[in-house]
Structure 1
Amino acid sequence: MLRSFVRGFRDVALLLARIAIGAILLARGWYRWQVSGVQAQQDVLEQADLPATQALAWLVTAFELAGGVLLIFGLGTPLVGLGMLVLNGGVAWYRKWDNGLYQHEGGYEYSLALAAIGLLFLAFGSGRLGVDNLFRVPGERRSKVDTTHAPPPPPPPPLEPNEETVFHRKPTANP
């Protein structure tokens, strides 16, 4: 009973986290696209001396918009988690590392938090309350269970009384 409660709690926690982080990604992508403009993102990327800044600015904006929507519905959650991990890890490393940890000083704490949440989505997926769950095989377990439904191999034949085994050895003479 406790195991089913914990599993249900985990699914609700993943749902709430997906909705919250999905809304944040969607709002950030919308802000980049409609409010500040993709050109402002491109300028930030140029200051970091990254190549192909226009394509990268559009890629980041599209990822935040699409990734936010996908997270809210729980579709492709591990892939979005991987994208969050790579994107925010890269931002923390290339853009904000020299500023230190604290966000109010231009640091990487926010990017690090989003990268860590991305790692959790990569590891745990959307849970049973996401669209991803519709694509699982019924009865599928995360443990190492053989799903081929093959019958177990037959047991080995019984040993003859005179065969040597680990437990039935012939006495040996001590030299």
Structure 2
Amino acid sequence: MELFRRPEQAEGIPRTEEELGLDPDVPVVGADKTDPRHAGANGAEDSQAEADQPASTYEYASIPPAPTLPKGSVRVPPRKDENRRGTVDFGLFLLRLVLGGTFIYHGLQKLTGWFHGPGLDGTRDMLADGGWDNPTLSTTLVTVGELGGGILLVLGLGTPFAAGAVLAVVLDAWAWKQGMVPGLQYKAGPGAVELESVLAGLAVAIILIGPGRWSFDRNRGWATRPFIGSFVILLLAIAAAVGVYWYLHGGNPFSGIGPFD
């Protein structure tokens, strides 16, 4: 038994264009109908001319090429997940909550005497004993800066200005404690400034990063994309701290430290 049959022995297989149902006189797509070479498929000259004729690139294409863009235009593909921020806004909310809550706590100690605080009279006496020239004004500034700035930070309302206010307060506290005893006492001693340094760093971070979308400032530019204005507020907060300390206290908080001897 033969397993395979040779092609010429197969029956019923079409071998010519007529048997396949093809019309040899159908013109090629894109060809010039007036060209005599495409009038028919008879003769050797026509076959030779068709063989020498180069085929068009889009001769059999069913989809036309994309249109050319105007000069100078750029086609930018859409970016997926461009507005997604993951846990950034939640993390900024927690940062504001911790920093603002800390200053609310200290502000209430000075304003109301809660949480074993000194109250307004005790704060004024403490500042007077610490060398502040106008203890009443100093008490007002520190209480408003801590309590008001802390509340605004938690709410995320006017955040750069609130963070700038608490930064100015904590920088003055840093300078006051550091100036009590010569030499840098970062972690231990009566002039330890570890807590003030951490709080100042958090305030600077919020100024430069913004409050995030979990805030009342969520529709403002500084909420998610702070830029030059944040640097301006940071410089103003530092300048305010230096001016208040120089005017109301004076002295050099860096006395006894390295080149400031």
Structure 2 residue identity aligned to 1:117: L
Q: CA deviation at 1:141?
A: 5.5
Equivalence for 1:25? 103
Structure 2 unpaired stretches of 5+: 1-79, 228-261
Scaled by the length of structure 2, what TM-score is found?
0.48
Q: CA deviation at 1:135?
A: 3.6
Greater percentage in helix: 1
User: Per the alignment, do residues 134 and 84 of structure 1 end up closer, same or farther by CA in structure 2, a change over 3 Å counting?
Assistant: same
| Distance of 1:70 and 1:97 partners within structure 2 | 30
Structure 2 residue identity aligned to 1:92: W
Structure 1 unpaired stretches of 5+: 144-175
Q: CA deviation at 1:95?
A: 2.5
Scaled by the length of structure 1, what TM-score is found?
0.69
User: Is residue 187 of structure 2 the alignment partner of residue 102 of structure 1?
Assistant: yes
When Rg is computed on C-alpha atoms for both structures, the one with the higher figure is 2
* Number of aligned residues: 141
| Distance of 1:95 and 1:141 partners within structure 2 | 35
User: Is residue 134 of structure 2 the alignment partner of residue 52 of structure 1?
Assistant: yes
Equivalence for 1:159? none
Structure 2 residue identity aligned to 1:118: A
User: Is residue 206 of structure 2 the alignment partner of residue 121 of structure 1?
Assistant: yes
Equivalence for 1:154? none
Match of 2:169 among 79, 87, 91: 87
| Distance of 2:134 and 2:188 partners within structure 1 | 27
Q: Deviations over 1:95-120 (max 9, x none)?
A: 23555112564411111111111101
Q: Secondary structure at the match of 1:133?
A: coil
Q: Secondary structure at the match of 2:136?
A: helix
Contact 2:150 2:166 in 1 (8 A): no
| Distance of 1:141 and 1:101 partners within structure 2 | 34
Contact 1:80 1:118 in 2 (8 A): no
| Distance of 1:3 and 1:116 partners within structure 2 | 29
Q: CA deviation at 1:27?
A: 1.4
Contact 2:93 2:215 in 1 (8 A): yes
| Distance of 1:118 and 1:44 partners within structure 2 | 25
| Distance of 1:78 and 1:12 partners within structure 2 | 18
Match of 1:130 among 185, 210, 215: 215
Structure 2 residue identity aligned to 1:87: V
User: Aligned-pair RMSD on alpha carbons?
Assistant: 2.8
Q: CA deviation at 1:70?
A: 0.7
Equivalence for 1:157? none
Equivalence for 2:196? 111
| Distance of 1:142 and 1:34 partners within structure 2 | 35
| Distance of 1:27 and 1:110 partners within structure 2 | 14
